[in-house]
């Protein structure tokens, strides 16, 4: 941060116009502006200088990028306080939209106000424990037997009912609340797994999604160790799902972290494989157990020969690396037939059933299995998928 401050001071030309507001948070005053385009060119030049500059810390070299929010007098405010507040609002929107920089506009003000309300509601939701886990089954394609489940977070908002994750997960990550909610999800999944075992149910491994902030957190390994430390059986019941892009953001760090976690007995899966840009040399080094084919590839598989070839290539690649392959978002019998033909190991999706609360998952899937058998909850007939002991197909509905 000291090196960044020195670089920014040189770029601005006057230290009196520059302030450090927080950990990685700086503000600049530009006294004279002819037109908006001049500011944009200036900011672009500063951002490029920052990105092009190698920062050395001990023996390591870092490249740093920045996001910027801009407010212009007098349209975005007539006082220093208003200009600062609106520049902050533009910065928040730049982060959320992944833009390098944004100028403050009335539309940003509306969006920021709505996000502020949602932020406060989510903080209350954490305090009042309004989050719940839903579980979606995964089955073996060859036998039709239940193999595991994916845990999906839902927010049971008392004002509006069940809120889908795409509405609140980005806000949790932006505010840092994802740390607390992520720890809760890990603990809840392990708690349910152990409860199923204690009740004599054939407990299946539960996959929990990990956010970028969680993986980059230096305490993440210790948090996993603490979560599974409550019972010797816990590690066997947990799988972590990480997106391909997340792992590739810092491959060396990901390899070290995942090796430490896998050494504890926890399984590791790459989610949405094929949507990022994995290097094959790194993929072979990653301590993985499972590779999940992204839903978009499953959809394309039945549309074009190229789509089918892509899925076949992914399955063969995974098997050559001794990884299990799970297809996501399977919705039709034709998709399941082709996946079986290509040798895919498992699948999940609306063809089998939507994600449901833990008590429904227990009665719908686990209570149908004989004690000690964690693989017979869903069976495959020649023409339809159906629950064991039931004659009707599981109805697929929206997740």
Per residue in 67-83, pLDDT (tens digit) is 999 888 888 888 999 88
Q: Does residue 228 share a domain with residue 94? A: no
Q: Does residue 131 share a domain with residue 89? A: no
C-beta contacts of 91-99 below 8 A and 24+ residues apart: 91/67, 92/174, 93/69, 94/67, 94/68, 94/69, 95/67, 95/174, 96/170, 96/174, 99/67
Kindly indicate the confidence band of residue 288, based on its pLDDT and cuts at 50, 70 and 90: very high
Q: Does residue 87 share a domain with residue 161? A: no
Question: Is 389's pLDDT higher than 50?
Answer: no
Question: Is 167's pLDDT higher than 80?
Answer: yes
Instruction: Please indicate, yes or no, if residue 110 is contained in any of the structural domains.
Output: no
Let me know the angle formed at the C-alpha of 252 by 250 and 254, rounded to the nearest 5 degrees.
65
Instruction: Please indicate, yes or no, if residue 392 is contained in any of the structural domains.
Output: no
Instruction: Please indicate, yes or no, if residue 379 is contained in any of the structural domains.
Output: yes
Instruction: Please indicate, yes or no, if residue 253 is contained in any of the structural domains.
Output: yes
Q: Does residue 293 share a domain with residue 145? A: yes
Question: Residue 52 is part of which domain span?
Answer: 2-104
Instruction: Please indicate, yes or no, if residue 112 is contained in any of the structural domains.
Output: no
What is the helix (H) or strand (E) element at residue 238, kind and residue range?
A: strand 238-243
Cut 0.75: pTM above it: no
Of 121-135, 170-184, 335-349, 376-390, minimum mean pLDDT range: 376-390
Structure-block tokens of residue 213: 């902030």
What is the helix (H) or strand (E) element at residue 347, kind and residue range?
A: strand 346-347
Instruction: Please indicate, yes or no, if residue 305 is contained in any of the structural domains.
Output: yes
Among the three residues 104, 134, 160, which one is the final residue of a domain in this structure?
104
Q: Does residue 297 share a domain with residue 156? A: yes
Residue 49 sits in a domain of what CATH number? 3.30.70.270
Of 176-180, 295-299, 326-330, 378-382, minimum mean pLDDT range: 378-382
Q: pLDDT tens-digit profile of 197-238?
A: 999 888 899 999 998 888 888 899 999 999 999 999 999 999
Q: Does residue 165 share a domain with residue 287? A: yes
Q: Does residue 188 share a domain with residue 49? A: no
Beta-bridged to residue 162, according to DSSP, are: 156
Q: What is the pLDDT of residue 368?
A: 63
The candidate with the shortest Cα–Cα distance to 323, out of 255, 273, 275, is 273
What is the helix (H) or strand (E) element at residue 296, kind and residue range?
A: helix 295-301
Q: What is the pLDDT of residue 254?
A: 87
Q: Does residue 180 share a domain with residue 144? A: yes
Q: Does residue 240 share a domain with residue 96? A: no
Q: pLDDT tens-digit profile of 26-47?
A: 999 988 877 777 888 888 888 8
| Inter-residue contact 212 to 274 (CB < 8 Å) | no
DSSP, collapsed to helix, strand or coil, labels residue 380 as strand
Compute CA distances 132 → 169, 186, 191, 353, whole Å: 13, 12, 13, 18
- Rounded average pLDDT over 124-147: 93
The candidate with the shortest Cα–Cα distance to 27, out of 88, 100, 109, is 88
Residue 197 sits in a domain of what CATH number? 3.20.20.450
d(CA 340, CA 357): 29
Phi, then psi, of 289 in degrees rounded to 5: -115, -35
d(CA 83, CA 71): 6
Question: Is 13's pLDDT higher than 60?
Answer: yes
Instruction: Please indicate, yes or no, if residue 113 is contained in any of the structural domains.
Output: no
The total number of structural domains in the chain stands at: 2
Q: pLDDT tens-digit profile of 236-278?
A: 999 999 987 777 777 888 889 999 999 999 999 999 887 665 5
CB within 8 Å of 187: residues ≥ 6 apart: 227
């Amino acid at each position: 941060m000291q090196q960044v401050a020195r670089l920014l001071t040189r770029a601005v030309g006057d230290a009196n116009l520059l302030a450090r507001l927080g950990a990685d948070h700086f503000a600049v005053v530009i006294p004279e502006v002819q037109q908006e385009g001049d500011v944009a060119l200036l900011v672009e030049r500063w951002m490029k200088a920052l990105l092009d500059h190698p920062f050395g810390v001990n023996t390591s070299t870092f490249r740093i990028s920045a996001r910027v929010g801009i407010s212009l007098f007098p349209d975005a405010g007539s006082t220093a306080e208003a200009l600062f507040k609106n520049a902050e609002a533009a910065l928040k929107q730049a982060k959320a939209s992944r833009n390098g920089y944004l100028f403050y506009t009335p539309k940003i003000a509306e969006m920021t106000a709505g996000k502020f309300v949602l932020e406060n509601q989510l903080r209350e939701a954490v305090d009042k424990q309004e989050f719940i886990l839903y579980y979606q089954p995964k089955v073996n394609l060859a036998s039709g037997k239940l193999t595991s489940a994916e845990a999906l977070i839902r927010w049971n908002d008392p004002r509006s009912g069940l809120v889908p994750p795409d509405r609140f997960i980005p806000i949790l990550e932006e505010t840092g609340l994802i740390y607390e909610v992520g720890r809760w999800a890990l603990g809840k999944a392990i708690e349910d797994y152990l409860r199923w075992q204690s009740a004599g149910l054939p407990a299946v491994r539960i996959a929990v999604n990990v956010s970028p902030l969680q993986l980059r957190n230096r305490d993440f390994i210790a948090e996993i160790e603490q979560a599974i430390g409550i019972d010797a059986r816990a590690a066997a019941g947990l799988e972590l799902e990480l997106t391909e892009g997340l792992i590739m953001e810092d491959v060396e760090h990901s390899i070290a972290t995942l090796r430490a976690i896998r050494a504890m007995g926890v399984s590791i899966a790459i989610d949405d494989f094929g949507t990022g840009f994995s290097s094959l040399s790194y993929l072979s080094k990653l301590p993985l157990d499972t590779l999940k084919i992204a839903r978009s590839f499953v959809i394309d598989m039945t549309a074009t020969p190229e789509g089918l070839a892509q899925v076949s290539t992914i399955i063969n690649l995974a098997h050559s690396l001794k990884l299990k392959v799970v297809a996501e978002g399977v919705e039709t019998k034709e998709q399941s037939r082709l996946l079986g033909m290509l040798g895919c190991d498992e699948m999940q999706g609306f063809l089998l059933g939507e994600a449901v609360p833990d008590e429904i998952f227990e009665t719908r899937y686990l209570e149908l299995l004989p004690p000690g058998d964690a693989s017979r909850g869903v069976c495959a007939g020649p023409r339809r998928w159906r629950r064991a002991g039931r004659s009707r197909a599981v109805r697929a509905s929206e997740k």
